[in-house]
Amino acid sequence: MSGIIKLLPDHIANQIAAGEVIQRPASVVKEMVENAIDAGATKIQVFIKDAGKTLIQIIDNGDGMNESDAILCFERHATSKVANADDLFALKTKGFRGEALASVAAISHVTLKTRQASSETGTLLEIEGSKIVSNEQTVCPIGTSFEVKNLFYNVPARRNFLKSENVEFGHIKDEFERIVFAHPEIAFTLKHNDTEIYQLNPAILRKRIVDILGRNSNDKLVPIEETTEIVELKGYIGKPEFSKKTRGEQFLFVNNRFFKDTYFNHALNKAFEGLLPSKHFASYFLYLTVDPSKIDVNVHPTKTEIKFEEDRLIYSIIFSSVRQALGKYNIAPTLDFERETSFDLPFEMRNMPATEPQVKVNPFYNPFQSNTATSGASKGNQFTKAIQSEGFGTNDIRKSDWDAFYTIEEEEKANNTLIDDDHSSFEMNDFLFKGRYLITTGATGILLIDIPRAFERIIYDELMAKFIGNPIASQKLLFPIEKEFSSAEITEWESNASLLGRFGFEWKFDKNMIIIEAVPAVLQEESIHDCIDTVLAKIAFQDIDKGEIAHALVLSIASSVGKTKKINNSVAARDLMEQLFLCPEHAITAEGKRVMQTISLDELSKRF
């Protein structure tokens, strides 16, 4: 007796599959261009008629196919890219499902011309709704050409639901851009109804981005480059002042594949926080390279969502590298700083005639060494050089602060006959109050620095920079520290294990006790307890975003180390100031607390 269950005929199964893979003409462009890249093409041309409804043609100069492969490629689950299950977990190609061509062939009229280098003649196939209607030998160039005509001709529901030509072509352009940004080494052409939209020569990444965004975008790009064991980060971010009101320029790639990720997106937005006008979006072109076995691209049929094994760490690395890049190019928050009337000293100095700053920087300065004994005499002009080599403009807050500071001093030397000796002028200018505040005077005012916070800022920047590159050095504790932990706290701690490990923490659990055996090497003995408590508080009790934990950890380490730092001579005071002014955001701590205050001469005279 026969049952009611039947296997679907192939062409119907293909049509159903097509619904998932091919949603609109843009999906065909994406799949076909990706196939061309997988075939090793160095030149790919895309011709579109009527936003893809009439024709989509993709011509490549890749490997091509022989006759039997040309026939087979339209079968479902036909792929040359995955041979066994292991391959799925270390994908190096864009395609792997073997569904795209079968799907396209099920819902359109396809003409395929393809030839391999080893063959004199090529194959010409015509397919209509999954059926081969003609197969002959042909003369054609090496590579492959697919013509897809009358898309969705047999799926009227789909065809009728296609949007306007503008919208559909917009989707095609989007897909095309995502691919060309990922492959600057390949030449691409995009033509729509005889209008040339893009004609892209092989280029370096920056040039490719500029070719797409327009020539004046070159000045807006800030490079990002970071290598860690987990991820290699490359690319560009747009300077905040050029941010846009649309999300259009946000691109993430992993192993040269475009993907969408709201979590990493958040890391980027976080890094830009405070820098963008409201309702504006950051621009970024970020390229991640990770071991293919550490990601899963299989989660989505169109493969734009990707799972990362180390997503938390990658979040932190993205956040800190973008922060660093923004800082390095002096586009990190200068905000309050400029608006605060209390910091008018450097600000008003900006309008002074430019004098060559006499910058003295001690390149051997180590903020982790208390009581630096290095003398001011060995100082070079690294700082000026650093500024010049960055090539960034005159409205650079860091430089102007520093210039101002020193211009004052130079001026004072010239004007003040009482002070004629370099060394004594230092002594006369710096005061220590209650061991906590450093007070220094200049021609136009008084600068007050909160010493622990200044150290906190310096150490924060230093650790953040180190953390990005390598794990932070660790020190074993002679007497391990024991703390009682709830099971929820144990879970929290464990879920941040790899991050905590990178910071130099080592521990084991014994029932509900955590035994901390090693801590970050920068911690001085007296700050270890304080730091562990802060870290525990951050991790266990606070509802902080998981990716911000790196920032929170560095912050707690920096603030505990900062508290133990002392200054007890004028050379150390100078060193501290120099180090501090090298930090892009020297006016506030990473937590936003004020590091310095100024009292202008004006303000001072009003008081009298």
- Residue 33 C-beta: closest distance to ligand ADP, Å: 9
What are the structure tokens assigned to 57, written together?
A: 């043609």
Degrees to nearest 5, angle at CA 57 with 56 and 58: 125
When the beta carbons of 180 and 572 are compared against Mg ion, the nearer one is: 180
Out of Mg ion, ligand ADP, none, which partner does residue 599 contact, by CB within 5 to 8 A per kind? none
> Nearest 10 degrees: CA dihedral of 18, 21, 23, 25?
-90
When the beta carbons of 142 and 481 are compared against ligand ADP, the nearer one is: 142
The CA distance from 474 to 3, in Å, is 69
Out of ligand ADP, Mg ion, none, which partner does residue 244 contact, by CB within 5 to 8 A per kind? none
Check: CB of residue 180 under 8 Å from CB of residue 208.
yes
Q: Which stretch binds Mg ion (CB under 5 A): 68-76, 93-101, 109-117, 428-436?
A: 93-101
When the beta carbons of 95 and 442 are compared against ligand ADP, the nearer one is: 95
Q: Are strands 109-115 and 143-149 parallel, antiparallel or unpaired?
A: antiparallel
The reply on whether position 538 binds ligand ADP by CB under 6 A is no
C-alpha distances in Å from residue 47, one per residue of 26, 59, 164, 366: 12, 9, 18, 60
When the beta carbons of 42 and 227 are compared against ligand ADP, the nearer one is: 42
C-alpha distances in Å from residue 449, one per residue of 133, 339, 344, 434: 82, 18, 15, 12
The reply on whether position 81 binds ligand ADP by CB under 6 A is yes
Out of Mg ion, ligand ADP, none, which partner does residue 520 contact, by CB within 5 to 8 A per kind? none
The reply on whether position 329 binds ligand ADP by CB under 6 A is no
The reply on whether position 302 binds ligand ADP by CB under 6 A is no
When the beta carbons of 23 and 475 are compared against Mg ion, the nearer one is: 23
**Interface characters, 122-161, with ligand ADP (x: CB under 6 A):** ----------------------x-----------------
596-600 sheet: strands from edge to edge: 430-433, 437-442, 445-450, 596-600
Exactly one of 101, 306, 550, 588 binds ligand ADP (CB under 6 A); which one?
101
Exactly one of 27, 55, 61, 95 binds ligand ADP (CB under 6 A); which one?
95
The reply on whether position 65 binds ligand ADP by CB under 6 A is yes
Check: CB of residue 144 under 8 Å from CB of residue 138.
no
- Residue 37 C-beta: closest distance to ligand ADP, Å: 9
Q: Which stretch binds Mg ion (CB under 5 A): 91-99, 141-149, 234-242, 302-310?
A: 91-99
Check: CB of residue 94 under 8 Å from CB of residue 30.
no
The reply on whether position 600 binds ligand ADP by CB under 6 A is no
Closest alpha carbon to 567 in 413, 450, 426? 450
When the beta carbons of 93 and 475 are compared against Mg ion, the nearer one is: 93
When the beta carbons of 100 and 532 are compared against Mg ion, the nearer one is: 100
- Residue 124 C-beta: closest distance to ligand ADP, Å: 15
Check: CB of residue 599 under 8 Å from CB of residue 437.
no
- Residue 96 C-beta: closest distance to Mg ion, Å: 8
When the beta carbons of 66 and 193 are compared against ligand ADP, the nearer one is: 66
Exactly one of 60, 177, 310, 403 binds ligand ADP (CB under 6 A); which one?
60
Closest alpha carbon to 461 in 536, 544, 336, 557? 557
The CA distance from 23 to 440, in Å, is 67
Q: What residue number has its CB nearest to ligand ADP?
A: 95
What are the structure tokens assigned to 419, written together?
A: 């002070």
When the beta carbons of 95 and 547 are compared against Mg ion, the nearer one is: 95
Exactly one of 14, 27, 35, 108 binds ligand ADP (CB under 6 A); which one?
35
Exactly one of 55, 73, 179, 282 binds ligand ADP (CB under 6 A); which one?
73
**Long-range CB pairs of 372-379, under 8 A, 24+ apart, other chains included:** 372/571, 372/572, 372/575, 373/571, 374/571, 374/575, 375/571, 376/426, 376/571, 376/574, 379/578
Q: Which stretch binds ligand ADP (CB under 6 A): 73-81, 358-366, 411-419, 477-485?
A: 73-81
C-alpha distances in Å from residue 590, one per residue of 14, 332, 556, 595: 56, 11, 10, 10
- Residue 28 C-beta: closest distance to ligand ADP, Å: 11
Out of Mg ion, ligand ADP, none, which partner does residue 61 contact, by CB within 5 to 8 A per kind? none
When the beta carbons of 85 and 373 are compared against ligand ADP, the nearer one is: 85
The CA distance from 202 to 343, in Å, is 49
At position 360, the amino acid (one-letter code) is K
Out of ligand ADP, Mg ion, none, which partner does residue 310 contact, by CB within 5 to 8 A per kind? none
Exactly one of 28, 51, 100, 314 binds Mg ion (CB under 5 A); which one?
100
The reply on whether position 79 binds ligand ADP by CB under 6 A is yes
Q: Give 484: exposed, middle or buried? Use CB within 10 Å, 0-12, 13-18, 19+.
A: exposed
What residue spans of 431-548 are helical by DSSP H?
A: 451-469, 487-495, 497-502, 528-536
Residues contacting ligand ADP: total by CB under 6 A: 23
Out of Mg ion, ligand ADP, none, which partner does residue 98 contact, by CB within 5 to 8 A per kind? ligand ADP
The reply on whether position 95 binds Mg ion by CB under 5 A is yes
At position 91, the amino acid (one-letter code) is L
Establish how many alpha carbons lie within 13 A of residue 107's alpha carbon, considering only the half-sphere containing its beta carbon.
29
When the beta carbons of 58 and 577 are compared against Mg ion, the nearer one is: 58
- Residue 302 C-beta: closest distance to Mg ion, Å: 11
- Residue 92 C-beta: closest distance to ligand ADP, Å: 12
Dihedral pair phi/psi, residue 397, rounded to 5°: -60, -35
C-alpha distances in Å from residue 266, one per residue of 156, 313, 503, 546: 40, 14, 23, 11
E strand or H helix that includes residue 262:
helix 262-271
In the DSSP assignment, the letter for residue 472 is: P
The reply on whether position 96 binds ligand ADP by CB under 6 A is yes
The CA distance from 157 to 235, in Å, is 41
Exactly one of 100, 326, 572, 576 binds ligand ADP (CB under 6 A); which one?
100
**Interface characters, 6-45, with Mg ion (x: CB under 5 A):** -----------------------------x----------
Strands (DSSP E) found in 250-333: 250-254, 257-259, 284-289, 295-296, 307-308
- Summarize as ranges the residues that interact with ligand ADP (CB under 6 A): 31, 35-36, 39, 60, 62-65, 73, 78-81, 95-102, 144
The binding site for Mg ion (CB under 5 A) comprises 35, 95, 100
